[in-house]
């Protein structure tokens, strides 16, 4: 199965990104817009890997404090358009710890330099000058307290992303970031600090 590790977004962030996508449509950009339920920030792409429990075991060693992540910027890589993330040292540290945990456990992952972006449009086409866009990136932030192991499957209407497991910041009472029961990974309750 194709796996990746990501930060999933709240409905508020998804709504802000859908407003951004509407601005893009209004500017005449056409293509495959990312559906709201698929909007996320990839932290590490693993690719084909048959044992998600091994990945979650590796991620169990992570310890991170919650941090704020803000939307900032807009750009493209060829025909792929993205919304950016404001420079964030805590995010970069988390990605380094994730990649170290994967490497230490022999789990392969894409080692390209981390460039935080949220894909909002693929296979874009536009007949005018994209430098003339007047795109507004909403001023929104997200408190990051969890990371998700995601599975990617091709559906007849595009990609389908399914959460396989969630890793929470370490809970000082239980010493773990997730619960398992009968081989099923469940989201655990976070007690207020």
Share of the chain above pLDDT 90, in %: 62
* Neighbouring-strand partners of residue 168: 146
Which residue is associated with the tokens 């990136």? 137
The domains of the chain are located at: 2-186
Token pair belonging to 138: 């909403």
Say yes or no to pLDDT of 122 above 50.
yes
Question: 191: pLDDT confidence band, cut at 50, 70 and 90?
Answer: very low
pLDDT tens-digit map of 162-179: 999 998 876 544 444 544
pLDDT per residue over 14-38, tens digit each? Answer: 999 999 999 899 888 999 999 999 9
Given a cut of 50, whether residue 91 has pLDDT beyond it is yes
Instruction: Count CB neighbours of 151 within 10 A.
Output: 16
Domain 2-186 has CATH 2.130.10.10: no
Q: If you write DSSP's letter for every residue of 22-50 in order, what string do you get?
A: HHHHHTT-EEEEPPGGG-EEEEEEEEE-S
Give the mean model confidence (pLDDT) for residues 43-72.
Answer: 92
């Amino acid at each position: 199965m194709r796996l990746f590790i990501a930060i999933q977004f709240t409905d508020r962030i998804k709504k802000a990104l859908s407003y951004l996508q509407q601005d893009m449509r209004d500017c005449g950009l056409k293509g495959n817009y990312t559906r709201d339920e698929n909007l996320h920030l990839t932290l590490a792409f693993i690719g084909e890997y048959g044992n998600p429990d091994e990945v979650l075991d590796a991620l169990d060693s992570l310890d991170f404090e919650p941090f704020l992540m803000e939307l900032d910027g807009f750009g493209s890589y060829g025909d792929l358009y993205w919304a950016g993330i404001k420079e964030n040292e805590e995010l970069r540290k988390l990605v380094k710890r994730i990649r170290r945990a994967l490497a230490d456990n022999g789990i392969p992952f894409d080692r390209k330099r981390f460039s935080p972006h949220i894909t909002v449009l693929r296979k874009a086409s536009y007949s005018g000058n994209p430098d003339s866009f007047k795109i507004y990136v909403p001023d929104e932030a997200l408190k990051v307290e969890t990371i998700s192991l995601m599975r990617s499957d091709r559906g007849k209407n595009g990609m389908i992303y399914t959460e396989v497991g969630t890793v929470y910041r370490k809970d000082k009472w239980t010493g773990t970031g997730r619960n398992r029961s009968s081989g099923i990974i469940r989201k655990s309750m976070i007690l207020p600090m």
